[in-house]
A and B are shown apart, each in its own frame.
Chain A
Amino acid sequence: MLDVNIIKKDFPIFNNQPGLTYLDSTATSLKPQTVINALVDYYENYSANIHRGIYSISEKATDEFEKTRSSVAKFINADPFEIVFTRNTTESINLVAYSLGRRIVNSKDEVLTTVMEHHSNFVPWQMLAYENGAIFKIIDITDNGFLDLGTENIKKNIEKIISKKTKILALAYVSNVTGVINPVEEIIRLAKKINPKIITIVDAAQAAPHMKINVRKLNCDFLAFSSHKMLGPTNVGVLYGKKEIFDNMFPFLMGGGMIKEVTLRKTVFTDVPQRFEAGTPAIAEVIAFRKAIEYLDRLGLDNVRQHEKEIIRYCLDSFTDNFKKEVVVYGPQDIEQKNGIISFNFRNYHPHDIAQILDEDNICIRAGHHCAMPLHERFGVSASARASFYLYNSKKDIDKLVEGLKKAKRVLK
């Protein structure tokens, strides 16, 4: 396991908030000192705009900004010109829906997603289908929380769902509620066999912080994730796109920084990725994001994943030992098939009450539908409590969670 006591020293919040038990990294992660320092360093020493100034601090800012693009590309095995910076995963997905989706989806075509999506990978496609008169299709899940594609013969089931009419397939790599890891590579391979022109979009917001991603191996057309869930600053989203598709796409936002030439009569757009980065971006945040990637590289994502597996196992075992059937956990419980997210309900208590009582002891969990209302409806509940783990969490945090739940039981009983 990772040595959490050493890791915690890298995160100033643990020093400033003694006794903090942070179990909501799926919403946003905490930030190491190196990331915070990089933000300050930009503002204190070279806070100039990028791609503009013919002076040294602007050139330095541009250089640092582009270094992050290279780091991100390397992180997911892509090329730097395939990386577009947005504000967040939501904006990345909307970019594809607006710039490409609205041009290729016609009436009676099909747009396919799954019932386990975060609203950010659900609503844009639902709206697109509605506006373009297309059919919005949804892959269901099994009661165990797996995509309902059968275990024996995924191929046969996918052939039933995907056809030449399916223009878009949007799916999560990892569910933000159950933590289930979807067989994305296999699904994309089978989908492209049926319809080589299908556009595949992977929401990797919950995968990128926790496991190695290889876009070449996945062979997805687009992949989106956010910096702030993987130790980086807020307001930086990543959109990976295959060069040949990106090159033929119309811009999403128009304005400064995305043109080659503007005359009174016409505008010539610049090349990708700048074509999709209109306006001044979150310069300091993008620059500091590289420090987050460096931090993850230094620890090693395989070690992070291994660490999380042990925490999940310990949490699930602790729930069973202490509460037996009073706790209902949604989704798979096999640690090989899920990452560090546990959504649950405890007795008949409302998740908000549980979260509130835990907060009295400085334990942070999420309560509600976690921006995944269709999935909660599928499970037949309106809300759940969610504890999620990252590289700075230890078994001690789980012990505190269990104590907190015992307290909730004493209060609400």
Chain B
Amino acid sequence: MTLYQEIILDHFRNPKNKRKLSNPSKKATVINSLCGDKIVMEVEYKKNRVENIGFKGEGCAISQALTSILTEYAKGKTKEQLKKIDKDFMIKLLGIDLGPNRLKCALLPLEALRKLI
């Protein structure tokens, strides 16, 4: 089965939340040195909840699409809810099992998000 399902390609072509925030509470940069993927993620909290979240970055379709999907999911969530997101959840978001090499791509946005909690 192909990794490149319509939902992934959709988020890759038209990423959500791909913007800079004007008033971020926190900012994190993560890099996958294996392939040079880079994500800069920003978040704005209001009373412990995600009010705004945005990212910039470059990389493969998997890492970019999942960053888009993850930021959509994170909106309105509390820090406690975000803390619960793990590897298995990311794979569920993606909807398909990944090989070990591509798993790093999929987990890169999670690494960024964790730095923001």
Q: Which residues of A contact B (CB under 8 A)?
A: 349-353, 356-357, 360, 367-369, 376, 382-383, 411-412
Contacts and interface: CB of A to CB of B under 8 A. Distances in A.
Interface of B: 2-4, 9, 12, 34-38, 58-62, 102, 105
14 contacts: A350-B35, A350-B37, A352-B60, A352-B102, A356-B3, A356-B4, A376-B36, A382-B36, A382-B38, A382-B58, A383-B35, A411-B9, A412-B9, A412-B12
Contacts of B61: 349-350, 353, 412
A353 B35 contact: no
B4 A357 contact: yes
A350 B60 contact: yes
Which 6 A-B residue pairings sit nearest by Cβ, starting from the closest?
A382-B36, A350-B60, A352-B60, A353-B61, A353-B60, A383-B36
A411 B6 CA distance: 9
Contacts of A360: 2
B49 to A, nearest CB: 33
B9 A350 contact: no
Contacts of B35: 350-352, 367-369, 382-383
B110 to A, nearest CB: 18
Nearest to B59: A350
Q: Which of B34, B35, B59 has the most CB of A within 10 A?
A: B35
Contacts of B102: 352, 356
Contact of B105 (A349, A352, A357, A411): A352
Contacts of B12: 412
Contacts of B9: 411-412
Contacts of A349: 61
Nearest to B38: A382
Contacts of B62: 352-353
Nearest to B34: A368
A356 B105 CA distance: 12
Contacts of B36: 368-369, 376, 382-383
Given A353-B60, A353-B62, A360-B2, 18 more contacts: A350-B35, A350-B37, A350-B59, A352-B60, A352-B62, A352-B105, A356-B4, A356-B102, A367-B35, A369-B35, A369-B36, A382-B36, A382-B37, A382-B58, A383-B35, A411-B2, A412-B4, A412-B9
